[in-house]
């Protein structure tokens, strides 16, 4: 593809860095820009500033096709297609904060030569507003569906590629389609507003599935059913499918919470009350409170108790803790007067910034030392491989609340733990209790 103009990527976070390195992998020259000078310095030293499997190799393999800069002029001078990958965090009201997108649009030369390809997640109607403000720039919506932890694979093997363009921007949409075509995903060519809506609706649907199975889990606890069995039986129905049916402490991360509330707000701004999403959000918040209830059931008041959070990232294989369940749990536990420790295999750096009042441990063993309970928040494989029998002796109380139904209840029970999962049969939850009951009672009085 030499001789072609390089592809511009603006914003080099999870989406931007994966986009830039994967386009380079496809043989394109790429110029990637970010306002974060530290990030760009790191990338120019070929050091990946995030934890995302596979990016190091892509960066190394395609180094000669990748340029990183902090200067927008460098990008505008050389690239014609500009893939916008800046962050769109939530505002206090729950709307998407589009200030970074607007900052990018404000820098575009109004000369009709450039096309802005929006990969950031934006509310439906954003494209229309941008075209009003920057009428000479061709605008294409191309939302991103990658998942952190498997982002490179997701990008290179998409289920579908959504490309939304309105009249006048078809040339740019055709070029975007040509770039993605070798990846083999189904092409969904549509208008801009529909493309924007596809992304928000997809995330809202997945979040709904999670809140749905969590409510089923809560009912399972009441009726003595096992949610993992229920989910398996449900998921084998092709109309339902098995994914996103794992009960737990609820969804978190940098996308679901903000995208669900952005869609709810978007609907509300038009005068439509999106009742279902209101419930999805509420169920997700309440789900974290159930962990506190499970701890109190065994320990009584949590004031003065030490609780160890195992896993701080919002999911395994990432060091991203934005909007992670660990943040909510730590705050609630501290609100109850508990002392909170945390351990994560890779997220210690970000945790130091976002969880300043949590005592960070260098290992799971260290976090569990003298703790009254372990709460598994992120299903990192190393937690399943822990020598739980020896952890029992380290802890003040042998109590595990498994927020992801990730550990084996039987082996924990055999090791003398009280084990609480989410929506599991009461026999699993109760079997370990007798062994730990005496110590739990003692702990209550400590
Ligand atoms: N992270 C995901 O899993 C994921 C998946 C799909 C879609 N998205 C969406 O993609 C967008 C980006 O998400 P992310 O997780 O990569 O965000 P991120 O915070 O990791 O990265 C955003 C980057 O944009 C940079 N930036 C901000 N303003 C800029 C500007 N004016 N010019 C240049 N760079 C600028 C920031 O410095 C940062 O490096 C969001 O809208 C998000 O909702 C994210």
391 contacts 368 by C-beta, under 8 angstroms: yes
> Which tokens hold the place of 371?
């703790």
Pairing of strands 373-376, 306-310: parallel
Ligand 1, atom nearest to 88 Cα: 41
* Cα 25 to ligand 1 centre (Å): 21
- If DSSP states are collapsed to H, E and C, what string results for 331-367? HHHHHCCCEEEEECCCCHHHHHHHCCCCEECCCHHHH
Nearest to 294 by CA among 446, 399, 434, 443: 399
Q: Which atom of ligand 1 is nearest to the CA of 36?
A: 37
Q: Ligand 1 pocket, 148 CB below 6 A? A: yes
| CA–CA separation, 330 and 302 (whole Å) | 12
Ligand 1 mean position, distance from CA 16 (Å): 7
Run of H or E residues at 189 = strand 186-190
85 included as an active-site residue:
no
Pocket test for ligand 1, best of 13, 38, 105 (most atoms within 8 A of CB): 13
Distance CA 367, CA 355 (A): 15
pLDDT at 135: 78
User: Residue 37 burial by CB count (10 A; 0-12/13-18/19+): exposed, middle or buried?
Assistant: exposed
How many other C-beta atoms are found inside a 10 Å radius of the C-beta of residue 42? 16
- Tokens describing residue 244: 């996103």
Dist. CA 100 → ligand 1 center (Å):
9
Q: Quick one: tokens of 417?
A: 């733990």
Q: At what angle do helices 192-223 and 275-299 cross, to 10 degrees?
A: 40
Torsion over CA: 141, 145, 150, 155 (sign): negative
Q: Which pLDDT does position 437 carry in this prediction? A: 45
CB 88 within 8 A of CB 97: yes
For ligand 1, say whether the CB of 368 is within 6 Å of any of its atoms: no
- Rounded to whole angstroms, the Cα distance separating 230 from 428 reads 15
Q: Taking the CA atoms of the chain, what radius of gyration do you get in angstroms? A: 24
Q: Could you give the CA distance from residue 189 to residue 210 in angstroms, rounded to a whole number?
A: 29
Among the atoms of ligand 1, which is closest to the Cα of residue 147? 3
Regarding pTM above 0.85, the answer is: yes
In short, whether 402's Cβ falls inside 6 Å of ligand 1 is no
Residue 204 contacts residue 260 (beta carbons within 8 Å):
yes
Q: Is 106 in the pocket of ligand 1 (CB under 6 A)?
A: no
Nearest to 50 by CA among 38, 66, 62, 67: 38
Q: Cβ(259)–Cβ(200) under 8 Å?
A: yes
104 lines ligand 1 (CB under 6 A): yes
Tens-digit pLDDT profile for residues 139-185: 999 999 999 999 999 999 999 999 999 999 999 999 999 999 999 99
| Low-confidence residues in the chain, pLDDT < 50 | 2, 428-446
Q: Which residue's CA is the nearest one to ligand 1's atom 38?
A: 13
For residue 117, list its beta bridge partners: 83, 140
Phi, psi for residue 42 in degrees, rounded to 5: -60, -45
Q: Check residue 1 and give its pLDDT.
A: 61
pLDDT at 271: 96
How many distinct helices (H) and strands (E) make up the chain? Answer: 19, 14
């Amino acid at each position: 593809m030499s001789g072609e103009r390089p592809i511009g990527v603006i914003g080099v976070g999870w989406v931007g860095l994966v986009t830039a390195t994967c386009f380079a992998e496809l043989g394109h020259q790429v110029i990637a820009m970010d306002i974060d000078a530290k990030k760009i310095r790191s990338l120019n030293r070929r050091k990946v500033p995030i934890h995302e499997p596979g990016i190091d190799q892509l960066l190394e393999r395609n180094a000669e096709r990748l340029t990183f800069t902090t200067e927008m002029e460098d990008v505008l001078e050389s690239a014609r297609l500009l893939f916008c990958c800046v962050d769109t965090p939530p505002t206090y009201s729950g709307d998407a904060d589009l200030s970074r997108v607007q900052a990018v649009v404000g820098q575009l030369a109004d000369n009709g030569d450039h096309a802005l390809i929006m990969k950031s997640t934006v509310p439906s109607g954003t494209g229309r507003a941008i075209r009003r403000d920057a009428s000479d720039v061709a605008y294409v919506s191309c939302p991103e569906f990658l998942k952190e932890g498997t982002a490179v694979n997701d990008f290179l093997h998409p289920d579908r590629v959504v490309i939304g363009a309105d009249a006048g921007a078809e040339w740019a949409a055709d070029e975007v389609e040509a770039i993605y075509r070798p990846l083999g995903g189904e092409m969904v060519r549509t208008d801009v507003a529909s493309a924007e809506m596809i992304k928000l609706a997809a995330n809202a649907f997945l979040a709904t599935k999670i809140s749905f199975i969590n409510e089923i889990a809560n009912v399972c606890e009441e009726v003595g059913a096992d949610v993992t069995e229920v989910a398996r039986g449900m998921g084998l129905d092709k109309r339902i499918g098995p994914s996103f049916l794992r009960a737990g402490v609820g969804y978190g991360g940098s996308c679901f919470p903000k995208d669900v509330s952005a869609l709810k707000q978007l609907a509300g701004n038009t005068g439509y009350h999106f009742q279902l999403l209101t419930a999805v959000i509420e169920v997700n918040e309440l789900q974290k409170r159930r962990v506190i209830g499970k701890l109190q059931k065994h320990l009584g008041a949590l004031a003065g108790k030490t609780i160890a959070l195992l896993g701080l990232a919002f999911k395994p294989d990432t060091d991203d803790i934005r909007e992670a369940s660990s943040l909510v749990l730590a705050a609630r536990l501290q609100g109850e007067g508990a002392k909170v420790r945390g351990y994560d295999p890779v997220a210690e750096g970000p945790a130091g910034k976002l969880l300043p009042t949590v005592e960070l441990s260098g290992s799971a063993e260290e976090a569990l030392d003298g703790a009254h309970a372990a709460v598994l928040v992120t299903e990192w494989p190393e937690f399943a491989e822990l020598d739980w029998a020896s952890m029992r002796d380290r802890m003040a109380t042998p109590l595990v609340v498994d927020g992801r139904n990730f550990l084996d209840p039987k082996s924990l029970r055999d090791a003398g733990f009280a084990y609480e999962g989410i929506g599991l049969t009461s026999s699993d939850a109760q079997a370990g209790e007798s062994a730990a009951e005496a110590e739990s009672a003692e702990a209550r009085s400590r």
